[in-house]
C-alpha cells in the first residue's frame, strides 16, 4: 500500500484528539456502538465492539444512491460538511477490515478533491483486538 495514503495503528494512536486529524468510521451504527463486531455478527470471545475515540460515524451506505452508485458530488460535499468534515483537515477513514474505508477514501480524494485522506489499514479488526488502547461505545 502507498505510504502516503496509509495510516498505521501507531499513527492513529498518536493523532487521537488532534482537531486537525479527523477519524471517520464508515461502518454501520450497530458496529459503531459495539452491538455488532462485523456487519452481521455480534462480538464473540475476546472481540471488542465500539469505535475509536473521537471518531465520527459516516456510514458508507449514506454516500450511495438508490441504484448503488455514489450520490452527486454536491450532495456528497454537503453530507460530509454536515458531519463536520472539511478539505482543510487530514481525514483517516476506517471500517472493519479496510474495504468500506477505501471506498470513502476514493469519494473524498477523487470525487471531492480532499488533499489529505488516509485509510487506517488495520481498521477495527486490529484496533478492537489490541489491549491497552481506548475504545468508545
C-alpha cell at 83: 458531519
124 — phi, psi (to 5°)? -70, -30
**Dihedral, CA of residue 15, residue 20, residue 21 and residue 23, to nearest 10:** 120
The pTM of this model reads 0.94
Query: Looking at domain 6-37+50-127, which CATH architecture does it have?
Result: 3-Layer(aba) Sandwich (3.40)
Lookup result for grid cell 488516509: 118
Q: Catalytic one among 12, 24, 55, 95?
A: 95
| Known active-site residue 91 | no
Give the model's confidence band at 44: pLDDT under 50 very low, under 70 low, under 90 confident, else very high.
confident
Tens of pLDDT, residue by residue over 65-112, are 999 999 999 999 999 999 999 999 999 999 999 999 999 999 999 999
Run of H or E including 79: helix 73-82
Rounded CA gap, 83 and 19, in Å?
A: 14
Burial of 68 (0-12, 13-18, 19+ CB in 10 A): exposed
**Percentage, residues of the chain above pLDDT 90:** 82
CB atoms within 10 A of CB 40: 8
Amino acid at each position: 500500500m502507498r505510504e502516503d495514503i496509509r495510516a498505521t495503528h501507531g499513527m492513529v494512536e498518536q493523532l487521537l484528539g488532534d482537531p486537525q486529524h479527523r477519524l471517520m468510521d464508515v461502518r454501520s451504527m450497530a458496529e459503531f456502538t459495539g452491538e455488532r463486531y462485523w456487519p452481521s455478527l455480534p462480538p464473540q470471545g475476546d472481540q471488542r465492539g465500539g469505535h475509536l475515540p473521537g471518531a465520527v460515524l459516516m456510514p458508507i451506505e449514506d454516500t450511495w444512491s438508490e441504484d448503488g452508485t455514489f450520490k452527486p458530488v454536491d450532495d456528497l460535499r454537503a453530507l460530509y460538511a454536515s458531519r463536520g468534515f472539511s478539505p482543510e483537515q487530514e481525514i483517516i477513514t476506517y471500517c472493519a477490515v479496510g474495504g468500506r474505508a477505501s471506498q470513502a477514501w476514493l469519494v473524498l480524494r477523487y470525487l471531492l478533491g480532499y488533499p489529505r485522506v488516509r485509510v487506517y489499514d488495520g481498521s477495527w479488526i486490529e484496533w478492537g483486538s489490541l489491549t491497552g488502547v481506548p475504545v468508545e461505545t
